Amino acid sequence: MKKMAKDRLSYFRKRLLDKQRQLMEEVGRSALYGKGQEDDSIKDLGDQAATAYTREFLFELGNGDRRLLKEVTTALRKIEEGGYGECERCGEPIAKKRLEALPFARYCIDCQRLVEEEERSAAG
């Protein structure tokens, strides 16, 4: 697998850090509501273990932001540890255009579609 150039990695790293900061502020604001009850569920978010209730609950509190924040954090870790820019499912490099639009993308476009279908069917 071809490794991503250093300058390109630092470019994405910067974009991800900016996004992370922005999301943390937004999530921090929504976390002011319902404190305590949500703490455990945040940890499990994205682990597919969340109950329908938790999913709905978090959705009301800005589930989109939390989920995104988790993905941004995961992407930053991959930049540090290696594997950034590779699809988590099939291991193929994620298309440049896709990373440009979504620097935190975890999957290539094909796998993304599959993962979303699976999530939909898991959600019932």
- Chain residues binding Zn ion by CB under 5 A are 87, 89-90, 108, 111
CB of 100 to Zn ion, least distance (A): 17
Shortest distance (Å) from residue 68 CB to Zn ion: 20
Nearer residue to Zn ion within complex by CB, 49 or 109: 109
Give min distance, CB of 118 to Zn ion, in A: 13
Spatial contact of 108 and 59, defined as CB atoms under 8 Å apart: no
Q: Measured between alpha carbons, how far is 111 from 113 in angstroms, rounded to an integer?
A: 5
CB atoms within 10 A of CB 30: 16
